[in-house]
Copies of this chain bind each other. A is one copy, B any other.
Amino acid sequence: MKKIYLGAAYYPEMWRENELETDIARCKKLSINCLRVGEFAWGKMEPKEDEFEFEWLIRVVDQLYENGISTVMCTPTATPPRWLLNQYPETRMMMHDLIRADVSSRCHTCKTSSVMREKNRIIVTEMAKVFAGHKGIVGWQIDNEIYPYSEGCYCEQCKSAFRRYLKEKFGSIEKLNRAWGMTRWSLSYDTFEAIEPPYPGQWKHPSLRKAWRDFHYGQIKTYVEEQAEILHGYGCENVGTDMMAHNSMSYYDINEKLDVVQYNHYDAAERLPCNAFSYDFLRSVKDRPFWVMETQVGWNGSEYAEGGYRPVGNCYANTWLPMAKGAEMNLYWLFRTHPNGHELGHGALFSPAGRAYRVSEEVQKAAKEFEKCGEFLTNTRIRSKIALHYSSTAHNSYDCAPLLKGFDYRETLIQKYYAAFRHYNVDVIDTAHSLEGYEVVISPFLSTADENGLKERMLEWIKKGGTWIAGPMTDIMDANVMRYTEAPYSFLEELAGVYVKYQKPVANEIFTAQWTNDGECAVGMCYDAYECNEGTRSLARYVGGEFSPLSVITEKKVGKGKVILTGSVISHGDLLRLINKPPIAEASKNVILTERTGEECGIIAVETQNQRGYLVLDNEYTDLITGRIFSGKTDIYPYEVLVLRK
């Protein structure tokens, strides 16, 4: 789209009509160029059944467009009107206590309900008719943060659909009983009809829980795709759906038939460096820039302000980081704080009284810089030689059977692996992603390594020269959360040329290890101990404890490439030692570097920890923000951004 969008979520239905003019002036003052509207406004669009009123919204889109402000239009299906939810109670989720959700919130519809689906199609069709082709509309958002809230809907329609889903998946009830281990505790089902969803009070059954999630994700996929199909049918472009930061509901699946990956986040100030993980993931889902649809400004808050103090400059850096990493849109939530009702404690660009908060000055600064740097950002892209696997299947399997106490798959990937690569271009990818172009792939805790043909693709890629760093706890179970029983891994033991002698999943500080050549090798979280087959080299081994002298890291050549198996979590330094590649540039840890190439090339540096830092440039660069020329060792200020064109 060759343009950078900056703006906010806007709820004109909340305010008097004549406020629009003032709001446009407010936008202009901040130099923001995009507002998202319509999100929860179904009640105002269809005040009575089949009576539609869009004039008020057309007027908004028109006036914004006339003033150079683009609109993202939302389908309002996360909040059907009260009359609809009351007249058709089956449209409301049935909670696990078998009581329908109250009409009091949002995102509480049944995703299976045929009535809900029909009503959705009608309102989306009406909207598409009215708004398709409007030049002011730059894209569409379907629903809002769609997800199976409260463990999903337990209504009879959902239960039936769940049973059909399982029947299709397993074919026979005997196969399901076997896959889920139902013989124990005499839990075997006689028929698919005997299957009930997992209830929160129940002793958790991993396979059942994961299947229930997978089912709901499937329903959501069609719920969203149904709307996308209508919008596409009317020629609407840039259709997506905004989701929170996790890959529990697979970004690859949900975005399969959508146009643009949309994403929301509300992390605390100190989480800023971690957000880069999400951007490196989002960028890789589709071969085009992603959109940040919501991020906080000032402070979070529902009944009260929370999320901690955000130092001066944090909003600015939080705005720049996604752009550095491959976004083309950043919208804040929200334009103006609600004066009453839910979420009246949330920060915004403007106060309930319509006064700009202090943070708006940072927004204004970023907006003006995007005007300067827009061309560089849209003419360049990010290429990575390193990939880190972040698997939706593993996410859900470890949620349902963590195996390690308090284990959080995503957070472990971020802190223990991703954080080592602040000065590298890295793609964070799911197993369906192509391996083309990567030299190193890192796959820790990839519980199921044999899906989407990954085993075969991986082998081929290694033979051509790839280095696969696998483990710990990789390739240990199938996608039904069933551990392998012939060997600890399904294929990795053979591929890596080892024999797994011992295993211990109890987190502790007992074990220590050493590199074969020199120095301590920190280990943690879980412990596999290997004997090496012929042709396999021990890179590091346990010392002193009960697993000494077995190996903890091994390496085996396979074709032109190699497999490095790690039996424990190692340190950032040890990980970089295994990778053995130079960074984009030398820099202090607080600075995140991204290399951009294409028609132009250069480096974007973002300071993320509100500290001073530095980077060392091997060439002469021009900072597109200030116009200054940099080379050699360069200081960087708290939350400063440098856009360094070579």
Q: Is the CB of A358 within 8 A of B504?
A: yes
Q: Is the CB of B303 within 8 A of A204?
A: yes
The contact of A309 among B351, B404, B506, by CB within 8 Å, is: B506
Provide the A108-141 mask, 1 if CB < 8 A to any CB of B, else 0.
Answer: 0000000000000000000000000000000000
Query: Who on chain B is nearest to A44 by CB?
Result: B183
A199 within 8 A of partner (CB) = yes
The contact of A502 among B81, B357, B481, by CB within 8 Å, is: B357
A228 CB, min distance to chain B CBs, angstroms: 22
Instruction: Report Cα–Cα, A14/B506, bound state, in Å.
Output: 25
Provide the A180-218 mask, 1 if CB < 8 A to any CB of B, else 0.
Answer: 111111111110001010110111111100000000000
Q: Is the CB of B43 within 8 A of A187?
A: yes
Q: Is the CB of A188 within 8 A of B81?
A: yes
Instruction: Report Cα–Cα, A202/B342, bound state, in Å.
Output: 11
Given that A305-B403, A355-B488 are known contacts, is A342 also in contact with B104, CB under 8 Å in the complex? no
A382 CB, min distance to chain B CBs, angstroms: 33
Q: Which residues of B lie under 8 Å from residue A82 when comparing CB positions?
A: 186-190, 194
Which of A307, A345, A510 counts the most chain B CB atoms within 10 A? A345
A498 CB, min distance to chain B CBs, angstroms: 13
Q: Is the CB of B355 within 8 A of A79?
A: no
A629 within 8 A of partner (CB) = no
Q: Is the CB of B105 within 8 A of A484?
A: no
Q: Is the CB of A402 within 8 A of B303?
A: yes
Q: Is the CB of B357 within 8 A of A482?
A: no
Instruction: Report Cα–Cα, A188/B85, bound state, in Å.
Output: 12
Q: Is the CB of A184 within 8 A of B483?
A: no
Q: Is the CB of A14 within 8 A of B81?
A: no
The contact of A351 among B181, B340, B503, B507, by CB within 8 Å, is: B503
Q: Is the CB of B43 within 8 A of A183?
A: yes
Q: Which residues of B lie under 8 Å from residue A106 when comparing CB positions?
A: 185
Q: Which residues of B lie under 8 Å from residue A81 when comparing CB positions?
A: 186, 188
Provide the A334-355 mask, 1 if CB < 8 A to any CB of B, else 0.
Answer: 0001111110110000011111
Q: Which residues of B lie under 8 Å from residue A507 when comparing CB positions?
A: 305
Given that A303-B403, A344-B401 are known contacts, is A190 also in contact with B83, CB under 8 Å in the complex? yes
The contact of A205 among B79, B104, B196, B400, by CB within 8 Å, is: B104
Q: Is the CB of B303 within 8 A of A400?
A: yes
Q: Which residues of B lie under 8 Å from residue A400 when comparing CB positions?
A: 303
Q: Is the CB of B194 within 8 A of A86?
A: yes
Instruction: Report Cα–Cα, A488/B352, bound state, in Å.
Output: 7
A42 within 8 A of partner (CB) = yes
Q: Is the CB of B353 within 8 A of A206?
A: no
Query: Who on chain B is nearest to A43 by CB?
Result: B186
A588 within 8 A of partner (CB) = no
A230 within 8 A of partner (CB) = no
Chain A residues 436-458 with CB under 8 Å of chain B are: none
A508 within 8 A of partner (CB) = yes
Q: Which residues of B lie under 8 Å from residue A207 when comparing CB positions?
A: 340-341
Q: Is the CB of A338 within 8 A of B403?
A: no
A49 CB, min distance to chain B CBs, angstroms: 11
A304 within 8 A of partner (CB) = yes
Instruction: Report Cα–Cα, A312/B546, bound state, in Å.
Output: 7
A407 within 8 A of partner (CB) = yes
Determine the interface band of chain A, counting residues with CB < 8 A from chain B.
Answer: 35 or more
Given that A76-B186, A403-B303 are known contacts, is A341 also in contact with B205, CB under 8 Å in the complex? yes
Which of A205, A305, A337 counts the most chain B CB atoms within 10 A? A305
The contact of A505 among B83, B181, B305, by CB within 8 Å, is: B305
Query: Who on chain B is nearest to A309 by CB?
Result: B508
A211 CB, min distance to chain B CBs, angstroms: 12
Q: Which residues of B lie under 8 Å from residue A432 when comparing CB positions?
A: none
Given that A190-B83, A303-B206, A305-B506 are known contacts, is A185 also in contact with B105, CB under 8 Å in the complex? yes
Q: Is the CB of A13 within 8 A of B547?
A: no
A639 CB, min distance to chain B CBs, angstroms: 13
Chain A residues 133-192 with CB under 8 Å of chain B are: 179-190
A292 CB, min distance to chain B CBs, angstroms: 22
Q: Is the CB of B186 within 8 A of A342?
A: no
A11 within 8 A of partner (CB) = yes
Q: Which residues of B lie under 8 Å from residue A510 when comparing CB positions?
A: 309, 311
Q: Which residues of B lie under 8 Å from residue A358 when comparing CB positions?
A: 502, 504, 546-547
The contact of A188 among B43, B307, B351, B483, by CB within 8 Å, is: B43
Query: Who on chain B is nearest to A188 by CB?
Result: B43
Q: Which residues of B lie under 8 Å from residue A79 when comparing CB positions?
A: 185-187
A405 within 8 A of partner (CB) = yes
Q: Is the CB of B342 within 8 A of A203?
A: yes
A485 within 8 A of partner (CB) = yes
Query: Who on chain B is nearest to A546 by CB?
Result: B312
A386 CB, min distance to chain B CBs, angstroms: 30
Q: Which residues of B lie under 8 Å from residue A407 when comparing CB positions?
A: 304
Q: Which residues of B lie under 8 Å from residue A403 when comparing CB positions?
A: 301, 303-305, 345
Q: Is the CB of B305 within 8 A of A183?
A: no
Q: Which residues of B lie under 8 Å from residue A547 when comparing CB positions?
A: 358
Instruction: Report Cα–Cα, A179/B80, bound state, in Å.
Output: 21
Instruction: Report Cα–Cα, A535/B354, bound state, in Å.
Output: 26
Closest 8 CB pairs of A and B: A43-B186, A181-B341, A181-B340, A309-B508, A339-B483, A352-B483, A340-B482, A305-B505
26 A-B contact pairs sorted by A residue (CB < 8 Å) = A13-B183, A40-B185, A40-B186, A42-B186, A43-B187, A43-B188, A102-B202, A104-B199, A180-B340, A182-B341, A184-B341, A203-B302, A206-B344, A299-B504, A299-B505, A303-B401, A304-B403, A305-B404, A305-B506, A310-B506, A339-B484, A339-B485, A340-B482, A353-B486, A357-B502, A357-B503
Beyond the given pairs A184-B341, A184-B342, A340-B482, 4 more chain A to chain B contacts, judged by CB atoms under 8 angstroms and listed by A's residue number, are: A14-B183, A102-B202, A204-B302, A309-B506
Binding site for B on A (CB under 8 A): 11, 13-14, 40-44, 76, 79-83, 86, 102-106, 179-190, 194, 196, 198-199, 201-207, 298-299, 301-312, 337-342, 344-345, 351-355, 357-358, 400-407, 480-488, 500-508, 510, 546-547
